[in-house]
């Protein structure tokens, strides 16, 4: 839980920095990459939760 919250906070910090320093095209592109990374991390977690339950 704590690790997940810290990870999400980290993503928001990176994302807000990108909003300041980059154009919208770069932000959208990086957001798509972040989303892919998050989905890849969450899918195995869902499987683990299902196996646990």
Residue 35 pLDDT more than 80?
yes
Averaged pLDDT for residues 24-50: 77
Helix or strand holding residue 31 (H, E) = helix 24-52
Residue 19 pLDDT more than 70?
no
pLDDT at 2: 63
Q: Whole-prediction pTM value?
A: 0.38
Residue 1 pLDDT more than 60?
no
Residue 34 pLDDT more than 80?
yes
Question: Length of the chain in residues, anyone?
Answer: 53
Cα(40)–Cα(26) distance, integer angstroms: 21
Domain boundaries, the chain: 2-52
Q: Which long-range contacts (CB under 8 A, 24 or more apart) does 45-48 make?
A: none
């Amino acid at each position: 839980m704590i690790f997940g919250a810290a990870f999400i906070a980290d993503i928001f910090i990176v994302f807000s920095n990108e909003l300041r320093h980059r154009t919208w095209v770069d932000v959208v592109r990086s957001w798509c990459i972040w989303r892919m990374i998050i989905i890849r991390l969450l899918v195995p977690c869902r499987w683990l939760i299902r196996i646990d339950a």
